[in-house]
């Protein structure tokens, strides 16, 4: 059961270069979530779990009214779950078995509502390369008419999962990197 701790805010235009208002800070992980990301995303609901107090989910809504959003989930990772260290290598390479188990589980959850969805690509991905972000694993799932994306990282003992809602296949160029846009603007704590 999740507690709603923030109501969906009114979508107001944000001038280019304007300062972000009130970032939400997930105390356990140190990750900061800005209210707005440029003129593209507005932070929506923040959900906290009563059963897992260190778990949080934060929604970012694409501001064009299409309903496309990215949900960022932050939750404790097992001590042996470490993501890839570098971008080179194959799709599994130096990520630990515990990390890949969580990544495979996340992909299966994403495909649950579309039994015809298949993994189009799976690769290493650097979240926020210029802003201290971690290397993680990314997958794109293609259904009959929609595409969904997922990015999983690990930072300081927490999984950070970015999930993009389904969007039309013919809109991949417009929405295909929405998780990347959000990952680039949240504030990552320094790796320990």
- Give the tens place of pLDDT for each residue, 92-110: 568 899 999 999 999 888 7
Q: Where are the alpha helices (DSSP H) in 30-136?
A: 97-111
Reading the block at residue 160, the tokens are 């950070």
Please give the domain boundaries of the chain with CATH numbers for all domains. 2-6+20-185 (3.40.1000.10)
β-bridge pairing 69-76 and 158-168:
antiparallel
Return the pLDDT at 32.
Answer: 93
- pLDDT band with cut points at 50, 70 and 90 for residue 177: low
Cα 106 to its chain centre, rounded Å, is 11
Which residues, in sequence order, are CB contacts of 75 under 8 Å at separation 6+?
52, 54, 55, 56, 158, 159, 161
Instruction: Please give the helix or strand (H or E) that residue 40 lies within, else none.
Output: none
- pLDDT band with cut points at 50, 70 and 90 for residue 6: very low
Question: Is the pTM here over 0.75, yes or no?
Answer: yes
- 145 pLDDT exceeds 50? yes
For residue range 55-73, what is the model confidence (pLDDT) as tens digits? 999 999 887 777 778 899 9
Return the pLDDT at 186.
Answer: 84
Distance separating alpha carbons of residues 90 and 149, to the nearest angstrom: 19
Distance separating alpha carbons of residues 31 and 188, to the nearest angstrom: 5
- 10 pLDDT exceeds 50? no
| Backbone φ and ψ of 21, nearest 5° | -95, 155
Report whether 42 contacts 63 (CB < 8 A).
yes
Beta strands in 53-130 (DSSP E): 56-62, 69-76, 118-126
Distance separating alpha carbons of residues 61 and 104, to the nearest angstrom: 25
């Amino acid at each position: 059961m999740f507690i709603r701790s923030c109501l969906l805010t009114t979508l107001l235009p944000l001038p280019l270069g304007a300062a972000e208002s009130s970032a939400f800070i997930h105390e356990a992980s140190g990750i900061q979530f800005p209210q707005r990301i440029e003129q593209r995303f507005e932070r929506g609901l923040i959900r906290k779990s009563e059963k897992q107090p260190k778990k949080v989910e934060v929604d970012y809504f694409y501001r064009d009214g299409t309903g496309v959003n990215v949900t960022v989930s932050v939750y404790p990772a097992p001590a042996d779950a470490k993501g890839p260290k570098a971008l080179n290598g194959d799709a599994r390479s130096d990520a630990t078995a515990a990390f890949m188990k969580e990544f495979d589980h996340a992909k299966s959850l994403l495909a649950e509502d579309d039994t015809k969805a298949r993994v189009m690509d799976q690769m290493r991905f650097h979240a926020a390369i210029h802003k201290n972000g971690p290397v993680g694993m990314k997958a794109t799932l293609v259904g009959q008419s929609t595409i969904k994306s997922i990015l999983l990282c690990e930072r300081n003992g927490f999984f950070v999962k970015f999930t993009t809602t389904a969007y039309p296949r013919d809109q991949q160029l417009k929405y295909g990197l929405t998780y990347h846009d959000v990952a680039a603007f949240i504030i990552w704590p320094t790796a320990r």
